[in-house]
């Protein structure tokens, strides 16, 4: 989930770490504050940034990257089997 104040460098480093440890499917979605008791959204990520994350992730070696504001961990899971 993005939108909690992370930098692009942090996102790309996490991608590197995941690939290094054998992860081949990556999902990136927008954090949405479920209640006032939870952390507040720091920023709403632009759809172009999600497209960039997908492109970079594929370049780094992921087989599948689902990246968008409403993407969740099970997003289109049937496609990744």
Range of the domain at 67: 8-76
Is residue 1 in a domain? no
Task: Tell me, yes or no, whether 81 lies in a domain.
Answer: no
Can you give the pLDDT at residue 73? 82
Gap between the Cα atoms of 15 and 11, Å rounded: 6
- Render each residue's pLDDT in the chain as its tens digit; 81 residues: 999 999 999 999 999 999 999 999 999 999 999 999 999 999 999 999 999 999 999 999 999 999 999 998 877 777 776
Residue 70 has what pLDDT?
A: 94
Number of domains in the chain: 1
Residue 42 lies in a domain: yes
pLDDT of residue 59: 98
Could you tell me the CA-to-CA distances from 59 to 31, 43, 64, 65 in Å, in that order?
A: 24, 25, 11, 10
Of 74, 63, 67, 62, which is closest to residue 30 (Cα–Cα)? 67
């Amino acid at each position: 989930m993005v939108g909690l104040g992370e930098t692009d460098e942090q996102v790309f480093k996490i991608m590197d770490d995941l690939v290094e440890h054998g992860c081949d499917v990556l999902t990136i979605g927008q954090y949405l504050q479920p209640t006032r008791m939870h952390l507040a959204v720091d920023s709403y990520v632009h759809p172009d940034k999600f497209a960039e994350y997908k492109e970079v992730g594929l370049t780094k070696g992921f087989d599948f990257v689902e990246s968008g504001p409403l993407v969740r961990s099970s997003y289109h899971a049937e496609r990744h089997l």
